[in-house]
Structure 1
Amino acid sequence: MNKTEKTKKKKNKTAANEPEGSAGKILRAARAEFSKYGLAGARVDRIAEKSGINKAMIYYHFGSKEKLYQEVIGYHLSRIADFIGHASTEAADPEQMLAKISDFYQDMFLHSADFRPIFLRELAEGGGRLKDAFASVFAEKNIQLKMKAIIDRGKKEGIFRNIDSIHAIISFVGMNIFYLIAAPIVNQMWEIKDAEKFIQKRKKTVPDLFLYGLLER
């Protein structure tokens, strides 16, 4: 790989903080485009117009529409992975770690309006690209092991009861994101008028419900 290719790869590498300059402008426009139209319906012409970057530069930075789409998915997953990585080392105890991660999950799905449609479309289409991105980003940052270590530490310290750590993690994630991806249906079913207020309350309720199932009693 020559110097130019290395520089290009470094610029395009997805991180919790999006790239600066042209690549960042392209990614911001692409997130909105893919969210609204999906991969098949998205148009590089519109991304170029919204970002103010010509098509040639878009292909220079990302190679193809498919690769740009993968970068958008990777950007969001990297945000999750980076936060979990920090929370797993900065919080004082396992309960605090899980509470911080729960708060982040719900804030991200609430405020990252462009991620939810992409996430749901990917699941509806079999989740192939999402699965590959999860495998790449989470494996690189050892997120599965860090999440498992939080539960294992709680069990070792006698805070959590002896429950299967992997099942606990899957349940924890599900409790955090289910409402946020099914909100239109849930809001109508339960006549929730103020979704923002409901989510703020849920951010406190979910960790309580989850931890009650883990705590030694």
Structure 2
Amino acid sequence: MVLSSRANRKSDKPHQTRDAEATQVQILDAAEDEFARYGLAGARIDAITARTGVTKAMIYYYFENKEGLYQAVMQRIGTQLEVAFEQLEKEPLPVDKALKEAIRSGIAYGAAYPQRGMLWFYEAIQNQGKYGQLSGWQKSFWNMTTILEQGIAEGIFRPIDPFLTTVNILGVCTFYFNAYENLKYVDPNRQLLSPEMIEQQTHSAIDLILTGVMLQPIV
């Protein structure tokens, strides 16, 4: 009987771990939505508890306080950004193809997390980027810059400023989603967030950017 009890306790541990991980994901999902609506300053833990059914005590147990929860949200964003672009590092591609895939990955990421534009907006105006820099999102920025630098060195891309060009490319990739709530009134007949329209936007962005950076015209 004692052996059986011990075995049960051991078998419970993976289940308890899974439950704890699932609870934290649930909290982070709700918190991200709350922070995207109101920023760190305006977000309320009560709203997150109401959305999840998780107690304040449990949130504080995992994340200590609202600031700790916000930092965890930003760090998760950085990790997911890294995952979104990690395939480019695994499979070396010619620079023009690497740039195309980077643009495609950037737009796919924007489509998967359209609410994050507002979260970054609040991070900039409320915190001056203090917490955003801790997420490690800069790695994806410099990965794009590296592609451009390599293309310039190989004589495939024009002698452009890699830093500013990366800023402009990311603007093309993100504005579509960040401005959706306004853009949807410009042409109500377009279903801008449909898979078909996002694919059209992807091709359009790739054509625009590659035409702008290539030394020789695209044939």
TM over 0.5: yes
Give the distance between the partners of 2:34 and 2:178, measured in 1 at CA.
Answer: 19
In structure 1, what is the Cα distance between the partners aligned to 2:40 and 2:139?
28
Distance of 2:142 and 2:40 partners within structure 1: 31
2:155 counterpart residue number: 158
**Residue 207 of structure 1 aligns to a residue in which SS?**
helix
Q: Which runs of 5+ in 2 are unaligned?
A: 1-19
Match of 1:33 in 2: 34
SS in 1 for 2:158: coil
Q: 1:187 aligned to 2:188?
A: no
Indicate yes or no: 2:65 matched with 1:64: yes
Kindly provide the amino acid, as one letter, of the partner of residue 25 in structure 1. Answer: Q
Paired position in structure 2 for 1:15: none
The letter of the residue matching 1:167 is L
Distance verdict in 2 for CA 1:214–1:127, change over 3 Å? farther
Q: CA deviation at 1:178?
A: 1.4
Checking the alignment, whether the CA contact within 8 Å between 1:88 and 1:150 is kept in structure 2 is no
Deviation at 1:69, TM superposition (A): 1.7
Whether 1:102 aligns to 2:103 is: yes
- The aligned counterpart of 1:86 is 87
Give the SS at the match of 2:211.
helix
Aligned to 2:215: 216
Q: Deviations over 1:116-143 (max 9, x none)?
A: 33233334x2552xx234422337x744
Q: Please list, as runs of the form range in 1=range in 2, the aligned pairs for 1:32-51 lying within 5 A after superposition.
A: 32-51=33-52
Asked whether the 8 Å contact 2:46–2:56 carries over to 1, the reply is yes
Q: Identity of counterpart residues, as a percentage?
A: 27
User: Which stretches in structure 1 are left out of the alignment for 5+ residues?
Assistant: 1-18
TM-score by length of structure 2 reads 0.75
Measure, in 1, the Cα distance between the counterparts of 2:117 and 2:197.
18
Rg larger in structure: 2
Instruction: Tell me which of 129, 152, 172 is aligned to 2:169.
Output: 172
Which residue number corresponds to residue 116 of structure 1? Answer: 117
Q: Is the contact between residue 39 and residue 123 of structure 2 (CA under 8 Å) also seen in structure 1?
A: no
Residue type of the alignment partner of 1:99: K
Q: Distance in 1 between matches of 2:187 and 2:127?
A: 29
Could you list the per-position Cα deviations for residues 44-80 of structure 1 after superposition, in whole angstroms to 9, with x for gaps in the alignment?
2332343343222211211111221222233223322
Distance 1:132 1:81, change over 3 A: farther
Separation (CA, whole Å) in 2 of partners of 1:111 and 1:143: 16
Distance 1:143 1:30 in 2: 24
187-196 or 172-181, which deviates more? 187-196
Which whole-Å CA distance do the structure 2 matches of 1:89 and 1:156 have between them?
A: 21
Of 110-119 and 21-30, more deviation after overlay is shown by 110-119
Asked whether the equivalents of residues 33 and 42 of structure 1 are also in contact (C-alpha less than 8 Å), the reply is: yes
How many residues get paired? 195
In structure 2, what is the equivalent of residue 206 of structure 1? 205
- Gap change, CA 1:42 and 1:189, over 3 Å in 2: same
Please name the residue that 2:78 is paired with.
77
Separation (CA, whole Å) in 1 of partners of 2:158 and 2:141: 20
Question: Which residue of 120, 133, 136 maps to 1:135?
Answer: 133
Q: How well do the aligned residues superpose, as a CA RMSD in angstroms?
A: 2.6
